[in-house]
Amino acid sequence: MVDHSSAAPHAHQFDDIQQQHEADSLGMWVFLTTEILFFGALFLSYGIYRHAYPEAFAAASHFMDVILGGINTAVLLGSSLTVVLAVHAAQHGERKRLVMFLIFTIILGLAFLSIKGVEYSHKFAEHLVPGVDFQYKGPQPGHAEIYFILYFVMTGIHALHLLIGVGIMTVLAFRASKNRFGPDYFAPIEVSGLYWHFVDIVWIFLYPMLYLIHVYH
Amino acid sequence: MALLVLTISVAYIDLGPYNVIIALVIAAIKASLVAYFFMHIRTSSRLTWTVAIGGFFWLFILFSLTFSDFLSRPIY
Amino acid sequence: MIPLLSSFPLFPVEASQQARQVDTLYIALVIIATFFTAIIFISLAFFAVRYRKGSKASRVLLHPENLKLEITWTAIPLVISAGIFLWSAKLYFDEHVPPANSIEIYVVAKQWMWKIEHPQGNREINELHIPVGIPVKLIMTSQDVIHSFYVPAFRVKQDVLPDRYTTEWFLPTKIGEYHLFCAEYCGTGHASMRGTVYVMDPSDYQQWLAGKTHEVPMATTGEELFQHFACNTCHQENDMGRGPSLYGIYGSTVHLNDGSTVIADQSYIRNSIDDPGGQVVAGYRPIMPTFKQQVSPDQVDQLIEYIKSLRPPEKVAKGMKQ
Amino acid sequence: MNTEQTVDYLNAGYGPKSWLLTTDHKRIAILYLISITFFFFVGGFFALIMRLELLTPQADVVSAHTYNELFSMHGITMIFFFLVPSIPAVLGNFLVPLMIGARDLAFPRLNLLSWYLYIFGGIFTLVAMLTGGIDTGWTFYTPFSSAYSTTNVIPVVTGIFILGFSSILTGLNFIVTIHKMRAPGLTWFRLPLFIWAQYATSVIIVLATPVLAITLALLGVERIFRVGIFDPALGGDPLLFQHLFWFYSHPAVYIMVLPSMGVVSELVTCFSRKRIFGYYFMAGAIMAIAALGFLVWGHHMFVSGQSVYAGMVFSALSYFVAVPSAVKVFNWTATLYKGNISFHTPLLYAFGFIGLFTIGGLTGLFLAALAVDVHVTDTYFVVAHFHYIMVGGAVMGYLGGIHYWWPKITGRMYNEGWAKFSALILFVGFNLTFFPQFILGYLGMPRRYHVYPPEFQVLNVLSTAGATILGVGYLIPFTYLIWSLRKGKQAGPNPWNATGLEWKTPSPPPPHNFDKVPIVTEGAYAYPPILTTEGTHGGS
């Protein structure tokens, strides 16, 4: 990620730390717009096929675990909160709280990934993995298969993003414990926080679209 | 803020059954809240607003023009 | 001069109604393009000479920016563009509305050949025989990848997609032999996926159709298939079967289970064979199995031609629904 | 002379490490210059074999399959590894910080990473193409690419995926740099149009590239797991692929040509010694092209089976893109009016650009006209059209820019006589290569054909003859530019007497660009007024 901390107060190309901070923040926002389009194309594919095969999608979504998905939503929202608190702590130079909240975030991130792993293993057990082992008993198996492909691709890429997020948070926590951040220099935390929130937002959309289709049918 | 999150998640599961539009609207509201408060859009510069909205606007372009094909296709 | 020109053409033959219309638009565009290119090139050359370094031309300039000029040269292209758009859109739309009296011919594309079947049962490969002066509608599908049915002399082209029907129509106006090309890249043999379109005098065409004596009309083959796959056990003449009657269904509006309606055209029939659960007729249960693996694209075409031939026995029977 | 003593970016460090680990935007630009030149000649080599094959109607040089691989490799190499990075990654990297008075880009390490991604993706793709081939065309249409092609589709797509990140990082870097690091006094409307063009290009890159990335990823998933995302046999829709693909690939045309437009604006003003005519309209047109360019992708799909109504919408929108392009051409021409024009090589390239882009742009109207497009799409008409835009436009602009800023980059002048000669050769060779293809296209010769009916031969021979001239034409600048590195005259900080911050620092510039942060007090192209009827020219 955008990461320019060094012993120097600000990198040579900038006039001052303020300019550097603004640049880091803008850089992350621009990066997030590319992410919007990246996931957006997936959501579009989902929308097109859901529009084409509504019944198959609804039927296939019966195989989703609404409870686990719901727990995961809560976990991620909680992790967003701990990130906010971490940024807040960094801004105020509270090193211990900063490290603590970063570690909370990491734990919640890992919790999400573990639950996701459990869900994936269920899908394998139920032979619902397209291209690997797909035996679907419901109507229109071909169209349901598209649903499961999109499910795996979308949640898989999302999980990959989260994994990267956990990696970044780990590095940040390590460096925070070495007291690298302070009220003047916390851009890496804030910027990584933006990324984390974005990953959270993606899930906020994924959950109803993938898990909650069938409820109203 | 924790309460806020909690209420929304609960409300969301309750309302989910109604239909896809409500589900998406709620997701959008929730996402906006995350963006607005957690991501500090609230206190950000106009530039940040522009960048964030720009991303979604382009997504809207992608969606609307692609669907313009798929929705009008059977009429041939 | 003349033999040279014929072996070295600069303009394609016009052999259909569309060709004439497209060419008119094309020539209008050439004139517009030449005009603007000339303006730019001449002013570039003129300014380059007149205002070359050291020339004595006056450089007194009143306004470095000129809003009126900017608006003018924004507006002029806009107006011209709008005109071209309307003209071309009209033609494009017409190209997608085949006349009701068109002959319907089925095309199945595969790597790397064109298989064509006439309703009378005549089949040909990489050749298409059609009469002059009568609109022809092609109902096309592909067995593998995307192809494109392109006859330059007719100025028509349409991609041919797998598992879907696209159509293309033209009104041939000139007897002759014309190139048929595959215009969408389709793999190793793409460049050899070519053929010839023979536009014939209608009487010659009739003779050609009759000349191949052993041909069985598509509808007849379709009827045999209909019985072979036992479609007739459920789709009976009246609505007493487990499936809806298909008599008179072609071209009619069908009400579906989910409340929507659909026109029963070739695409609908094809979808119902491939994916019967997708669009179920109101009042019927989704019990039909898919025939996707059993029925080839050619056979689907023959079934369609058969279903097309089924006229409603009595008008009354049609409105009945369970 | 005195450059011997001063430290510039070239002599600031020696040895491979000082280059491969550099974060200096100017050195990274040089790394890009070398790598894209390599890919340009690789892509050009593929093209020459193709043109050779097309000399006769039969297949006599290569087999059908090899030919299909050649045009695929030509397209992929030229578009992804030459045209898209060309001006942004070389000239943009070098000049954006210099022109806005910054010490470097906002994220220098990201910039280096972007080059590594580029070179890694490039070599990966090249190796994949040369070992297992690729025969899908650069468009990768499904289901051919996902279910039928037996070539190295997955590795090639992976290479392009990696390259996408390189593009995105460059774009992101430029956007942030231009927003946050302009010198004091350098307001948006004082920026040179080159910067506007880089900015617009970056916006396109950042918004469009991710869609290509995910589309190629989905294609890979479909191919590896044999599942249907775009394959109709498995319930997918190939048109969705085309929509997603062109959502990137149409704006990509503007990624290639907008930077050239920026370059041409610099050249025309410098050599006519005038402010650009209609600066605000020019800047506005750049942004308008960038934005409207996203609304028109469906015009690649008029015969694809897309809905007729959607086709009409896309056609109508396409004409709106034509308007700002026309405005730009008019304004460049008007800039010459009452100028004081000196014909140095860069200006010849700028003239070449304006002329060829005009033809390319106007033939774009033909393609946007639905019914005409039905006839000429997927024929040589399209091939000619986009080569006029991409080679006649983008490459001419790129070469013009290279010639214009060469003294800044290297500190040396090239041989003007040879340079003018090669510009002329390129112009002639280009037109001879591609103009006959318009006629071929209207006659109906489909693209991607290695064998063709005999009546198309004469025009094909002309085209091949032109391609030979063009090939030689590209070797000449390559030679004299390298020669100039050792033997060229010292250029001095401002050999063209141009305005712009990049000329206010020595050539080659010192590692941190400016000894003192410049303060800007006037708009771009503030050339002194040219004196009146006496004809005495008012160069400073």
pLDDT in tens, D57-80: 998 889 999 999 999 999 999 999
Listed residue (D247, D201, D256) closest to D387, CA to CA: D256
A142 vs C contacts (CB less than 8 Å): 275
How far does B32 lie from chain D, in Å, by closest CA? Answer: 21
- Computed over every residue of chain A, the mean pLDDT equals 86
pLDDT band of D431, cuts 50, 70, 90:
very high
- Select from D179, D207, D243 the Cβ nearest to the Cβ of B66: D243
- Centre a 10 Å sphere on the Cβ of residue D538 and count the other Cβ atoms it contains: 13
State the total domains in chain B. Answer: 1
Residue type, D292: L
Task: Select from D104, D236, D237 the Cβ nearest to the Cβ of A13.
Answer: D104
Is residue C137 within 8 A of residue C172, CB to CB? The reply is no
- CA D246 to each of CA A152, D211, D287, D296: distance values in angstroms, whole numbers, following the listed order: 25, 9, 20, 9
Task: Give how far B10 is from chain D: nearest CA, Å.
Answer: 33
Task: Give the pLDDT band (50/70/90) at residue C214.
Answer: low
Spatial contact of C271 and C278, defined as CB atoms under 8 Å apart: yes
With an 8 Å Cβ cutoff, the interface of chain D facing chain B consists of 179, 207, 211, 239-240, 243-244, 247, 294-295, 297-298, 301, 306-310, 313-314
Same domain, C135 and C89: no
Joined together, the tokens standing for residue C142 give 């592909």
A131 touching chain C per CB within 8 A: no
Extract the tokens encoding C98.
Answer: 């085949």
- The answer to whether residues C90 and C155 belong to one domain is no
pLDDT bin (cut points 50, 70, 90) of residue C168 is very high
Q: Which residues of C touch B74 (CB under 8 A)?
A: 262
Adjacent-strand bridge partners of C148: C159
pLDDT higher than 50, residue C316: no
B49 contact A CB<8A: no
Would you place residue C319 in the very low, low, confident or very high pLDDT band (cuts 50, 70, 90)? very low
pLDDT at B6 over 80: no
Residue C170's DSSP bridge partners are C136
Q: Is B3 on the interface with A (CB under 8 A)?
A: no
Q: Where are the alpha helices (DSSP H) in C229-296?
A: 266-274
CATH assignment of the domain containing C120: 2.60.40.420
Are C17 and C89 part of one and the same domain?
yes
C304 closest CA partner among C240, C216, C223, C209: C223
Classify domain A17-216 by CATH architecture: Up-down Bundle (1.20)
Residues of A in contact with B50 (CB under 8 A): none
The residue of chain C nearest to residue B76, with distances taken between CA atoms, is: C96
B52: domain range?
A: 24-76
Helices (H) and strands (E) in chain A, counts: 6, 2
- Which member of D141, D323, D371 has the closest CB to residue C88? D371
Look up tokens 């809905």; give the residue.
D307
> pLDDT at position A207, please?
86
Among residues D181, D537, D502, the alpha carbon closest in space to that of D338 is found at D537
**What per-residue confidence (pLDDT) applies to B20?**
67
- Span of A202-211, C199-208, D300-309 with lowest mean pLDDT: A202-211
**Between B and D, how many residue pairs show a Cβ–Cβ distance under 8 A?**
45
Q: What is the 3-state secondary structure (H, E, C) of A46-114?
A: HHHHHHHCHHHHHHHHHHCCHHHHHHHHHHHHHHHHHHHHHHHHHHCCCHHHHHHHHHHHHHHHHHHHH
Is residue B7 within a helix (H) or strand (E), and if so which, with residue range? helix B2-15
Interface touch C286/A142, C-beta < 8 Å: no
Query: Is residue D481 within 8 Å of residue D422, measured between CB atoms?
Result: no
> Hey, which chains touch A, using 3+ CB pairs under 8 Å?
B, C, D
- Confidence (pLDDT) at B11: 52
Arithmetic mean of pLDDT over chain C = 85
Hey, which residues does C123 pair with through a beta bridge? C117
Residues C155-167 have pLDDT tens digits of 999 999 998 899 9
Pairwise CA distance, residues C179 & D19, whole Å? 57
pLDDT surpasses 50 at B76? no
Q: Nearest residue on chain D to A32, judged by CA atoms?
A: D206
Q: Note whether B24 contacts A216, CB cutoff 8 Å.
A: no
Classify residue A8 as exposed, middle or buried by CB count within 10 Å of its CB (0-12, 13-18, 19+). Answer: exposed
Question: Is residue B74 domain-resident?
Answer: yes
Q: Which residues of C touch B76 (CB under 8 A)?
A: 96, 167
Is the CB of residue B73 less than 8 Å away from at least one CB of chain D? yes
Q: Which domain holds residue C80?
A: 3-96
Q: Where are the beta strands (DSSP E) in chain B?
A: none
Burial class for D3, CB neighbours closer than 10 Å (0-12, 13-18, 19+): middle
Using DSSP's 3-state secondary structure scheme, residue C178 falls into strand
**Contact call for B17 and A216, based on CB within 8 A:** yes
> B48 in a domain, yes or no?
yes
Instruction: Kindly report the length of chain D.
Output: 540
pLDDT digits (tens, 9 = 90+) for D469-516: 999 999 999 999 999 998 889 988 999 999 989 999 998 999 989 888
Chain A residue with the nearest C-alpha to that of D214: A38
Chain A nearest CA to B4, separation (Å): 11
Taking the CA atoms of residue D67, residue D70, residue D72 and residue D73 in that order, the dihedral angle to the nearest 10 degrees is 170
Query: Residue B18: what pLDDT?
Result: 54
Pairing mode, strands C136-142 and C166-170: antiparallel
Regarding whether C148 and C90 lie in a shared domain, the answer is: no
Chains with at least 3 CB pairs less than 8 angstroms from chain C: A, B, D
D23-504 belongs to which CATH class?
mainly alpha
Give domain limits for chain D.
Answer: 23-504
Structure tokens at C198: 């023979």
CB contact under 8 A, D365 and C84: yes
**Residue C61, number of CB atoms within 10 A of its CB:** 16
Q: What is the pLDDT of residue D210?
A: 95
Nearest chain A Cα distance for residue C276, angstroms: 9
Mean pLDDT value of segment D287-303: 93
Q: Is B4 on the interface with A (CB under 8 A)?
A: no
The per-residue pLDDT for B2 is: 52
Confidence of residue B5 (pLDDT cuts 50, 70, 90): low
**Contact assessment for residue D385 and residue D439, using Cβ atoms and an 8 Å cutoff:** no
Short-list D449, D455, D441, CA closest to D372? D441
pTM value is 0.90
Query: Which positions in chain D touch B47 (Cβ < 8 Å)?
Result: 179
Asked whether residue B58 is domain-assigned, the answer is yes
Helix (H, G, I), strand (E, B) or coil at C160: strand
Q: Look at residue D533 and tell me whether its pLDDT is greater than 80.
A: no
Contacts of residue A40 in chain B, CB cutoff 8 Å? 59, 62-63
List Cβ neighbours of D355 (8 Å cut-off, separation of 6 or more): C40, C41, C44, D392
Asked if D176 is an interface residue toward chain A (Cβ–Cβ < 8 A), one would say: yes
Q: Do D304 and C55 touch (CB under 8 A)?
A: no
What confidence score (pLDDT) does residue C5 get?
A: 47
Cross-strand pairs, C172: C16
Task: Give residue A61's pLDDT.
Answer: 84
Nearest residue of chain D to residue C164 (CA atoms): D232
* Structural contact between residues A36 and A45, judged by C-beta atoms closer than 8 angstroms: no
- Average model confidence (pLDDT) across chain D: 92
> Which residue type is seen at C98?
P
- Sheet holding C194-200: strands in order across? C127-131, C194-200, C176-182, C147-151, C156-160
**Closest to C208 measured CA to CA, from C311, C103, C295, C289:** C103
Please tell me which chains touch B, using 3 or more CB pairs under 8 Å as the contact test.
A, C, D
Identify the pLDDT of residue C62: 61
Number of structural domains chain C divides into: 3
Over residues C267-276, mean pLDDT: 80
| Chain B: residue whose CA lies nearest to C97 | B76
